Structure 1
Amino acid sequence: MSNQNLCFTKYDKSKLKIIDIGANLSDHMYSGFYNHSNKSMHPNDINNVLQRAFANHVEKIIITGTTLEDSKEILKLAETNENLYITVGCHPTRSNEFVTNPEEYLNGLLKLIQENDKKVVAVGECGLDYDRLHFCSKETQQKYFEMQLELPKLTKKPLFLHCRNSYADFGDILKRHHDQLHGGVVHSFTGSKEEAKIFTDLGYFIGINGCSLKTQENIDAMLSIPTEFLMIETDCPWCEVKASHAGHKFIKTRMPCIKKENWNEDILVKGRNEPAAIIQVLEILAATRNEDIYSLAETMYENTKKLFKI
């Protein structure tokens, strides 16, 4: 099927360009494995996912690295397409991977960044996540978050940051190292107006996706963020805009989807988010902020290009 037939939107393609700053394209869902099952429901369809994205205003995608090995794997994918980039880092819930040999693990991340300078645009996903302490303790997360902050100091790369229910400690750590860092983005933001201001006051951008728009409180917090600090993402295959979300009523672009059991290479899988659906996040932002969708998209596009030097 041609890209033209895969386009679901009515917007002018020459005027609307989007960079998805956070896509987990190495997730097993894109190989047909769902809910920790060992049985694949369909073939790997990452190429179809990318075609749909590029047909629906997505110009470039930054694939999120969550561990050293994951970062190596997504690099292989990024090397297949000039419009794909990656981050390199260790997610806070995976911080235990540092424990056996912290210096060796950190040096592995550093080497991957230095040897792939044009494809690696940020250090991360790193930060703190106090919602999932069953994976990793606060103390371990804090220790290896700070250790990873040595990477932007050495590489001059910005940070791709994760923060869940940990804003005080997270902000304190960033402030402690602020003068030696090179900016970044707090992705998948679900915090308050006050928490957003902590980051924008430090010069950090804020990444907005479907999870950022679940409730009216979420939307109010997003509205408090100046446009010059906004970026847009899917965090796919998660964080889709659901019918129960406060922002859902502002969606104009409907995308056909089917159950995974009825998989078709040209249709989205129900419950599995992907970059093509980022247009829905943009529509919610434009409507709730009362901004022109083309101007808003252009500002976030330029914000992204500037930070990540794309």
Structure 2
Amino acid sequence: MAIPIIDAHLHLDLYEQEEREALLNSLGAFGVKGLVAVSMHLDSCRSLLALKRRTDQPIYPAFGYHPEQALPDASEEEQLFRWIRDHREEMYAIGEVGLPYYARLEAEKAGRGFDLEPYIWLLERFIRLAAELEKPIVLHAVYEDADIACDLLEKHGVERAHFHWFKGSEETLQRMKERGYFISVTPDVVYKEKIRDIVRAYPLSLLMVETDEPWPFQGPYEGVRTHPGMIRDSIREIAAIHNRSEAETGEALWANTVRFYRLQG
């Protein structure tokens, strides 16, 4: 029997309804038993919750505000935080939240200034909310931004942190490993040596697998619609890197995700 899969990070709200329904209806054929669906903003949160309520599919919503976009105004921010508190019992995590590494990089390349401080302030507010609600937090924080996130997590005593699709230095990885933070790996582990190096440096007990769909991938997935079923290829690659069987590796990744998000395994 195939090892069950949980996609630890994807964006269900970015699909058109017909395409999303087709995706959800296909999960059983691929042995996908869970989807941790993250939010982009308040409308995204509402959409995910409505979807969760009207389907029996195993969707585990996370509520937050994606950092690679303009900041919300004060009224929008307060409305979002109030809404999250009001729906705390129906969410599994705060997320996706973090820092705008790619937006900042684009601005710098174009010679434009970029003020990171308001984003750091908002991230800290989300981290305080995770501590208040006793929920895990899903982070978009790569390279040097991960160190800022680690500082804030340590400051507020938040231990259940998931750095999705992490990229960064060996020093940052070591710091995250010592704190017991989780990272998740996308299908690019199949064709990118840098991602394989990260997997090699991190304990299997702190790994999860994701697709970040509908994000498209390259290599053997060029032109192929991203699907949680691709995670089986990731499991195979992670198993080879850690010198474990696919079955043992898949079971560990499944158990890690169930434990971290406190799912019904």
Question: Could you state the TM-score of these two structures normalised by the residue count of structure 1?
Answer: 0.75
1:175 aligned partner: 154
* Alignment partner, residue 23 of structure 2: 49
2:118 is the alignment partner of 1:140: yes
**Is the 2:199–2:241 contact (alpha carbons within 8 Å) kept by the matching residues of 1?**
no
Aligned length: 254
Q: Show CA shifts across 1:197-220 (max 9, x none).
A: 221211111111124555312211
What does residue 86 of structure 1 align with? 61
Q: For residues 191 and 239 of structure 1, do their structure 2 counterparts lie closer, same or farther at Cα, with a shift above 3 Å needed?
A: farther
Equivalent position to 2:127, from 149, 160, 166: 149
Deviations 1:34-86 (A, max 9, x none): xxxxxxxxx72222212322211211111111212101101112221241111
Deviation of residue 191 (structure 1)? 2.2
Q: 1:60 aligns with which of 34, 43, 47?
A: 34
RMSD: 2.3
By how many angstroms is 1:300 displaced?
Answer: 1.2
Aligned to 2:141: 163
Which residue in 2 is equivalent to 1:188? 165
Q: SS of the residue aligned with 1:231? A: strand
Instruction: Describe the SS at the equivalent of 2:141.
Output: strand
Query: Given that residues 6 and 35 in structure 2 are in contact (C-alpha distance below 8 angstroms), is that contact kept between their aligned partners in structure 1?
Result: yes
Distance 1:193 1:291, change over 3 A: farther
In 1, Cα distance between equivalents of 2:150 and 2:161: 13
Residues 132-164 of structure 1: per-residue CA shift (max 9 Å, x gap): 126874112101001111221221111111113
Contact 2:98 2:123 in 1 (8 A): yes
* 1:187–1:121 CA distance, 2 compared to 1 (3 A): same
Q: 2:100 pairs with 114, 129, 151, which one?
A: 129
Match of 1:272 among 211, 225, 249: 225
Residues in 1 aligned to 2:92 and 2:76: alpha-carbon distance in whole angstroms: 25
Q: How has the CA–CA distance of structure 1 residues 211 and 308 changed in structure 2, closer, same or farther, with 3 Å as cutoff? A: same
How far apart in 2 are the matches of 1:183 and 1:153? Answer: 9
Distance 1:199 1:111, change over 3 A: same
Distance 1:167 1:150, change over 3 A: closer
Given that 1:95 and 1:141 are in contact with CA atoms closer than 8 Å, whether structure 2 keeps it comes out as no
C-alpha distance in 2, partners of 1:288/1:182? 27
Q: Which amino acid aligns with 1:138?
A: L
Q: 1:98 to 1:21 in 2, by over 3 A?
A: farther
Match of 1:285 in 2: 238
Deviations 1:97-154 (A, max 9, x none): 1444543332222223x2xx2x411111111122212687411210100111122122
Task: Please identify the structure whose Cα radius of gyration is greater.
Answer: 1
Residues 127 and 145, structure 1, Cα contact 8 Å, conserved in 2: yes
Q: Aligned to 1:131, what secondary structure does the other structure show?
A: helix
Structure 1 distance, partners of 2:170, 2:68, is 25
Task: Give the superposition deviation at 1:276.
Answer: 2.2
Gaps of 5+ in 1: 1-11, 32-42, 249-254, 258-269
Partner of 1:36: none
Q: How does 1:174-253 map to 2 (within 5 A)?
A: 174-177=153-156, 179=157, 181-211=158-188, 214-240=191-217, 242-243=218-219
Cα gap change, 1:193/1:52 in structure 2, threshold over 3 Å: closer, same or farther?
farther
Q: Quick check: which one's helix share is greater?
A: 2
